Amino acid sequence: MQTMTSAKSLEEAYLEFQLGTKGPVALPMASAKAVLMIGAQQITPMPLMPACVLGLSNRRSRVSWVVDLSMMLGFNPLDMNVQRYTIIQIQAEEIPLSFAVQKVHGVIRLANERLQSSIGTETPTPELMPFLRGYLPYKEGILTVLDVAAIVSSPLWNP
């Protein structure tokens, strides 16, 4: 029989957030460095970048790409007529990225062995497929779990 303590130790912390009308999405907390709000004027657009790249941001002398994660994953883009963006700053493999998301819900704990490659009729967009860690039945719907290492090694940052 497994004790409550050992069951908890098999769980990993994830940051849960919202991407437009897509159901809840999560990424490992180990990759998340900060959640913050930044003004749209604090993002410097860069020419010749894919549409999902909003530009560069400088925070505490650290420059990072700001990405509309919803658009990058093949979902509806964020509203571009906003004054402020909700940002999740991540760090993986020494590449700092900032994901613009609709809303951050908070930290949750998930048992990795419960992740599934597919659930029912849930099918990933072609853009999401390379960055998908798995799905999990969650509350009244399905939670999409992202693979941050795959996002960081995307050809967007490594041409």
Domain count, the chain: 1
Average pLDDT value for residue range 52-76: 90
Average pLDDT value for residue range 34-38: 93
**What percent of the chain stands above pLDDT 70?**
91
101 domain residue, yes or no: yes
What tens digit of pLDDT does each residue of 117-150 get? 877 666 778 888 999 999 988 887 889 999 998 9
12 domain residue, yes or no: yes
40 domain residue, yes or no: yes
Instruction: Note the pTM of the prediction, 2 decimals.
Output: 0.85
- Walk across the sheet containing 132-138 and list its strands: 103-111, 11-19, 22-28, 141-146, 132-138
113 domain residue, yes or no: yes
157 domain residue, yes or no: no
Evaluate if residue 56 carries a pLDDT over 90: yes
Q: What are phi and psi of 86, to 5 degrees?
A: -85, 125
Identify the CATH number of the domain in which residue 117 sits: 2.40.50.180
Average pLDDT value for residue range 27-40: 92
- Strand extents, DSSP E, 1-152: 11-19, 22-28, 32-39, 43-44, 53-59, 62-68, 84-92, 95-101, 103-111, 132-138, 141-146
- CA angle 98-69-128, nearest 5°? 135
Helix (H, G, I), strand (E, B) or coil at 151: helix
How far is C-alpha 116 from the chain's CA centre? 18
158 domain residue, yes or no: no
130 domain residue, yes or no: yes
Query: Would you state the pLDDT for residue 3?
Result: 45
Query: Domain range spanning residue 134?
Result: 4-152
Query: Would you state the pLDDT for residue 2?
Result: 46
95 domain residue, yes or no: yes
